[in-house]
Structure formats: structure tokens, C-alpha cells
Amino acid sequence: MRYVAVFGDIAGARAGNERLMHLAFYDVLTDLPNRALLMERLEQMVSRIDREPRLLAVMFLDLDGFKLINDSFGHKVGDELLRAVAKALCALVRQSDTVARLGGDEFVILLDNPQNEHEIANIAQRVITAINKHWNISGKSVHVGVSIGVVIYPKSGISSGDMIKYADAAMYAAKSAGKNTYRFFDDSTPQPTSHSGADSSWDI
């Protein structure tokens, strides 16, 4: 019996460690990769690009109208909507791509080696079509949209460490263009600032 008890303690400790590791790298609400795992995968993709000719697209997504839903129907409905959006985003990409949640209503998609800008634009439009609709959440009909900013590496001439920041800036350009659209970062895009998208006045 003593050996059984020891084995049980080891198995329990191992399960506990695995759970802690999961919590460290995955978002509790949506079970998507969190910021830490996103940055790790981004570094891996950039490292691979440095060894062979490939492309990487970083898509920064911010939901349009999410704050109003939270204020009107409560955080329970908002949380269920975020889970539904996360599931819809995962269904739109390949297994080699990454869908992550940064927090609040901000998501990032890493597209691993897309063919060209045209393919990236098609994916962005598919995301908008999938998200910009009325959702039935807990018996409530709620409408949410999405604005997307895109950075292509290495074509954009942006360092790997700044890709998320510049994709965020491109997302704000999409917001300025009327929301429910996408914009690629280019020379005409306003330079990134230190704002946080979750706290922004755009989140209405």
C-alpha cells in the first residue's frame, strides 16, 4: 500500500505540474495560446524564416462593439461571445497557424507561410465575414464586428520584435476607415503609440 500511495502522489504531482504549465501558456477563458506562447511561436517562425525563404503574416484583431455588449448584457454573455469567436477563428485557419488571445477582445493570428498578400487579404475578409454578424449567445442576439491590422514579415521591413505593435497600429487604421475592415501596415499608416487596445476609445 505504501508503494501505491507513493505512485499516486507522483502521478498527482505530475498532473498538477502539467496543469500549471497549461495555465502559464494558455488563456483561461478561451483555451487559446496567451501572449507568452504567442511570442514564443512568433520567435520560432521568425527563426525559420531566417533560414529559408518564407512569409509570415501577423493579424491583429479587435472586436467592434464588444464593450457595448458587456455593458448591456453583462460579462457572462461577453465571455461566452469571446469563446464563440475564438472557436470561429480556429475553424478558419490551418493547424500550422496560431490563433491567440492577448486579453480583453484582442486576438492575434499568425499565418505560417502564406503564399502572398492576396491570400492574406482573402483570409482577413473571411474572418470579417465570419465574425461580423448577429450571434445567439445565452438566448440573446448580439452583434459584433472586427477590425484587423496586418503586418507581413519580412516584406514590411519591420523587425520581428515590433510586428505585434505595428499590426496593432494597422488595426487602428482599419478602425479609422470605418471598422469591419482590414488594413496592411505601410508607410502611410500612423506610427504605433503606447496605447492599449483594450482601453481604447475605439472599443465601443
Which run of H or E residues covers position 58?
strand 56-64
Report which residue type is found at 31. D
The position carrying cell 453583462 is: 74
DSSP 63-121: EESHHHHHHHH-HHHHHHHHHHHHHHHHHHS-TTSEEEEEETTEEEEEEES-S-HHHHH
Tell me whether residue 186 is one of the annotated catalytic residues: no
Catalytic residue among 62, 64, 105, 203: 105
Which active-site residues does the annotation give?
105
